[in-house]
Amino acid sequence: MKSIAATLSFLAFSILPAQCEKPNVIVFLIDDLGWADLSCQGSQYYETPNLDKLAASGIRFTNSYSANPVCSPTRAALLTGKAPQRVGITQWIPQPSTLHLPAEETTIAEAFQSAGYQTGYIGKWHLGEKNNQLPTANGFSWMKSVNRAGQPASYFFPYTRKSKRGNYWDVPDLKDGKEGDYLTDALTDHALDFIKEKKTKPFLLYFGHYAVHTPIQAPKELVKKYEEKKKKLYGNSGAEKIFHRYQTTSRPRQDHATYAAMMENLDTNIGRVMDKLDELKLTENTIILFTSDNGGHCHLKKSPGVTCNLPLKSGKGWTFEGGIRIPTIISWKGKLKPGICDTPMISMDVMPTLLDLTDQKLLPKQHLDGTSLKPALLGNATPALNERTLAWTYPHNHGSGHRPSHAIRKGNWKLIRFDTTNTNELYDLSTDLGEKTDLAKKHPDKVNALHAELATWIKETTP
């Protein structure tokens, strides 16, 4: 009887391998993607049908935040589950720099490797420029087209530019292209190759797109399409710039044709990956997480940026909602019920959430500042999870005109502290998502309580 039972057990396991397999994971990290840059997020100008499809088949977070209003700190938080200041990265890493992701951190890639996953990294890194600081030194066994800088030299082949630093800006591993080839297309070719090569065993693919960061470049035919669309939407009318503090101005509407073309191309390439998963029958065994490293690039100190984050205030480089609230989608077809999730989410949550979804042990001593959102994804979020406190510190000046600030969100209340002017601003996000009405003078007790909690958090998380 024991032998028969063992045989039946083996047969059941053999017949249903799909249910026993570890799921694959693909992380799409988009650079400078704004909260309002997707059609499913309300954009009338940009066209993102594939991302809309992904959102419809998955869970779209309405209260998702980046760990910081600029790239490198958020990238560190995503990989480690720690607030950026814990790992010593609170500003984007300039070039050249000795700053890098500390080697002693256990990254999400190292955790997945320990669980038997194949790990791959494509694209922008921006967490260290030396060989022993790149993805391959941080848990990714396979790496393609990671340059040493924070943006590409060009989006067009040969993806190079003349520089006193030699090939520092150039995007590697793309020598076989031809004139007119576009970077986002070429990077996606790498992704398709990785998926095809690794399809028989569980994999983690971390795809750090350079898009939609500067330089703002796109295929001419797509640019022309959006120049025509702009005329249809707005005619020949201009739009007044939105004047912001510190002599900055914001783009008042989404009308930058080249940026729109970059968005469509990005969306098309996300679709190519989704199609490959369908073709290889991997879709139902693959978790896809799509997110951004900070808010949209809507203003500079002397001129508007390239997108518009309205109804949110401000953009990249600021702790107002436009600088830190981002689009995030998590999809696992057949496993996660599609819908909208209002539970607050921040970059540090990615590591524990993906570990939890793939039934790995959580590493609480590593992802100190992250929380698994698996309960929320399954529709079982607790009141504590839905009302959790999030906080940010960005103690730097920024090219957008920003001066050092810090912020905390507790429930629907949000406090922003500006060091330069020694002032606090208080907003009720439930009625004022655009942060137009400062309630600090009306609620001094709330200001004092949130300010004290923010100061304690900064002190406890800063080595």
Work out how many domains the chain is built from and give that number: 2
Cβ–Cβ under 8 Å, residues 37 and 318 = no
Instruction: Assess whether 288 and 422 both reside in one domain.
Output: no
Q: What is d(CA 153, CA 371) in angstroms, rounded to the nearest whole number?
A: 36
Query: Which residues lie across from 415 on neighbouring strands?
Result: 408, 426
Chain segment 151-203, per-residue pLDDT in tens: 999 999 999 988 777 777 899 999 999 999 999 999 999 999 999 999 999 99
Instruction: Assess whether 116 and 230 both reside in one domain.
Output: yes
Cβ–Cβ under 8 Å, residues 24 and 280 = no
Instruction: Assess whether 381 and 410 both reside in one domain.
Output: no
Instruction: Assess whether 379 and 425 both reside in one domain.
Output: no
Instruction: Assess whether 133 and 256 both reside in one domain.
Output: yes
Residue 172 domain-assigned? yes
Residue 82 domain-assigned? yes
Please give the chain's pLDDT, 463 residues, in tens.
Answer: 333 334 333 333 333 334 448 999 999 999 999 999 999 999 999 999 999 999 999 999 999 999 999 999 999 999 999 999 999 999 999 988 899 999 999 999 999 999 999 999 999 999 999 999 999 999 999 999 999 889 999 999 999 988 777 777 899 999 999 999 999 999 999 999 999 999 999 999 999 999 999 999 999 999 999 999 999 999 877 666 666 565 556 788 999 999 999 999 999 999 999 999 999 999 999 999 999 999 999 877 667 789 999 999 999 999 999 999 999 999 999 999 999 999 999 999 999 999 999 999 999 999 999 999 999 999 999 999 999 999 999 999 988 888 999 999 999 999 999 999 999 999 999 999 999 999 999 999 999 999 999 999 999 999 9
Domain that includes residue 138, residue range: 21-387
Chain segment 119-143, per-residue pLDDT in tens: 999 999 999 999 999 999 999 999 9
The alpha carbon of residue 152 and the mean position of all alpha carbons in its chain are separated, in whole angstroms, by 18
Instruction: Assess whether 327 and 408 both reside in one domain.
Output: no
Q: Which of 354, 361, 333 is nearest to 18 (CA)?
A: 333
DSSP per residue, 176-239: T--TT-BHHHHHHHHHHHHHHHHTTS-EEEEEE--TTSSS----HHHHHHHHHHHHHHHTT---
**At which of 357, 387, 417 does a domain end?**
387
Instruction: Assess whether 311 and 365 both reside in one domain.
Output: yes
**At which of 352, 387, 422 does a domain end?**
387
Residue 392 domain-assigned? no
Instruction: Assess whether 192 and 149 both reside in one domain.
Output: yes
138 — phi, psi (to 5°)?
-130, 35
Query: Which residues lie across from 348 on neighbouring strands?
Result: none
Strand 405-410, strand 389-394: pairing: antiparallel
**At which of 354, 387, 420 does a domain end?**
387
Instruction: Assess whether 97 and 42 both reside in one domain.
Output: yes
**Helix 183-198 and helix 257-279: axis angle, to 10°?**
10
Instruction: Assess whether 173 and 255 both reside in one domain.
Output: yes
**For residue 148, is it left (φ>0), alpha (ψ between -120 and 50) or beta?**
alpha
Residue 304 domain-assigned? yes
Residue 379 domain-assigned? yes
**Helix 49-57 and helix 257-279: axis angle, to 10°?**
50
Instruction: Assess whether 205 and 259 both reside in one domain.
Output: yes
Residue 276 domain-assigned? yes
Instruction: Assess whether 120 and 239 both reside in one domain.
Output: yes
Global pTM reads: 0.94
Q: What is d(CA 375, CA 385) in angstroms, rounded to the nearest whole number?
A: 9
Which ranges in 16-100 belong to alpha helices (H)? Answer: 17-20, 49-57, 71-80
Q: Which of 293, 344, 266 is nearest to 34 (CA)?
A: 293
